[in-house]
Structure 1
């Protein structure tokens, strides 16, 4: 069911406006971000080397280390060494 939820989330994000936040996992291990958008929480799982667009109209993201960041929809989250950085 979680894979279906993530796939649906990806499809919705892909069909949204061209301006959306993106995340790229430069690690070999899978990483998970918790995305809160419109009061709804979902897990965004990224496999090693995978990238994904999400959050077209602003959201909050809980990083792998537990930090919470507010995104407007134009940022890129880069995960490397288990640490997430916003670019």
Structure 2
């Protein structure tokens, strides 16, 4: 019985969809974001109107205006005026 419950739990965990944050640059200029995830630091440049999927396991994002936000994954973020609007 315990083995069956364990198998069901593992199966459910493997079939759960991966959540990631979506970031869209609504500004007229390219915006550079600094992303720290699991000890790794990456910079991404978002062209005007472009969208990137980031942080499938949660992360910290430093915005062009210097603000730092924590994302769990699953959020929709709009960059406007170098600031973030998290939905």
Q: TM-score, normalised by structure 2?
A: 0.74
Question: 2:28 maps to which residue?
Answer: 28
Paired residue secondary structure (1:35):
strand
Is the deviation greater in 63-72 or in 74-83? 74-83
Larger radius of gyration: 2
Aligned residues, how many? 71
The alignment yields a C-alpha RMSD, in angstroms, of 1.2
* Consecutive unaligned residues in structure 1, runs of 5 or more: 1-16
1:18 Cα deviation (Å)? 4.0
Question: 1:37 maps to which residue?
Answer: 37
2:63–2:82: 8 Å Cα contact kept in structure 1?
Answer: no
Q: TM-score, normalised by structure 1?
A: 0.74
